[in-house]
Amino acid sequence: MTQKKLIVSVYVFVCCVVTAMGQSLKYYNADDFPLIGKMSDDTEGRYARLPLSCKGESKKWVWILGQDTPGLAVRFATNSTAIATKWVTKRNNSMSHMAMVGVKGLDLYVLKSGKWRYVRCARPKGKENEGVIISDMKGEMNEYMLYLPLYDGIETLEIGIEEKAVIRQPQVESPVTERPVICYGTSITQGGCATRPGMAYTNILSRMLNREVVNLGFSGHGHLEYEIAELMTHRNPSVIVMDFISNVSASMLNERIERFMSIIEDKIPGVQILFIEHVPFPLAEFNLKKGEWVEESNEALRKAFRELKKKGYQNLHYLKSEHLLGEDGESTVDGEHFTDLGFDRFAKGIYPVVKKLIRHAER
């Protein structure tokens, strides 16, 4: 192809894109719209989970993962027939067992008849990204929620709409942000390995409850860090879900659990706390060492739970995990980390318990 023909072809392609869009887009800084899913605004940049008070206090990778954005979402309303985004990631992370959309992409939902409905994702290409999520919609004013990456952070984020359209602050409080639910745990809590951000169990649970759910999952960690216990006492949460046992040995549990719980109990004595067992993931059925680890972990958790109750911690609850992932072994990507199916089953399994505990906390 000659250079002249190539230039003409590119020009025609661009014109077709503009024609399909109807008109050019105008971008708005997402910093100007509400962000849900944070415990503190005193962070190193807007799109981060851990406050500056944890810098130097948390272990290196807890701090790094605390700059990732699982559970964070931007709320806005617009009547645009097209919605686009520009975003720059912090780490340009990639993972061999997790879809790139889940790692560092975005996920758009719309509020319809009081329920959040999935629209489409924004696919990442690298550190710097730009693209149209959806076009050719009706020009109706709708409420939107844009979920941020699960295993990467955001440096900058812009929302694009048609020049003639309006973008404004959300008019509906959904999810409800008063007295949020906190989920504390490991890589699975952080969102590994959902195909897209909206399918992490914390985000599914938030939509089911219509309640803000703060994601304090840290891949490879969840070691009952005392500074995280302190962070949990902010914002007067209604329920704390403790989904950490898969990364904690019996000795670490015995050493750290009582101080961890006392930090929470001293500052927010009315909060309801739900301990969840290590799920019997498929790998544990065939790998004998993994199977032993699951059994030993759950036995240690049961023992610690009983001891805490004896010592006067009354707002503690315990959920067995044997049926949370189903019986067919199809809920994980690698025998351990959840697929979307696994996250959906897990969220639906814990939902009725968490809903009941919210009602109990707010009586």
Q: What is the pLDDT of residues 283-331, one digit of tens each?
A: 999 999 999 999 999 999 999 999 999 999 999 999 999 999 999 999 9
Structure tokens at 269: 């004595």
- Asked if the model's pLDDT at residue 177 lies above 50, the reply is yes
| Tens digits of residue pLDDT in 60-79 | 999 999 999 999 999 999 99
Segment 74-101, tens digit of pLDDT: 999 999 999 999 999 999 999 999 999 9
Q: What pLDDT is recorded for position 22?
A: 54
Q: Which domains does the chain have, with CATH numbers?
A: 25-168 (2.60.120.260), 176-361 (3.40.50.1110)
The predicted pLDDT at position 239 comes to 98
Which residues, listed in sequence order, are joined to residue 280 by a DSSP beta bridge? none
Lowest-confidence pick of 14-18, 230-234, 264-268, 296-300: 14-18
User: Is it the case that residue 6 has pLDDT exceeding 60?
Assistant: no
Q: Based on DSSP, count helices (H) and strands (E) in the chain, helices before strands.
A: 10, 15
> CA-CA distance, 279 to 37, in Å (whole number)?
25
pLDDT value, residue 23 = 63
Task: Give the model confidence (pLDDT) of 43-55 as tens digits.
Answer: 999 999 999 999 9
3-state secondary structure of 73: strand
**Residue, of 13 and 189, whose pLDDT is higher:** 189
Average pLDDT, the chain: 94
How buried is 204 (Cβ within 10 angstroms: 0-12 exposed, 13-18 middle, 19+ buried)?
buried
What are the beta bridge partners of residue 115? 112
Mean pLDDT of all residues in 207-224? 98
Residue 17 has pLDDT above 50, yes or no: no
Sign of the dihedral through C-alpha 158, 161, 162, 165 = negative
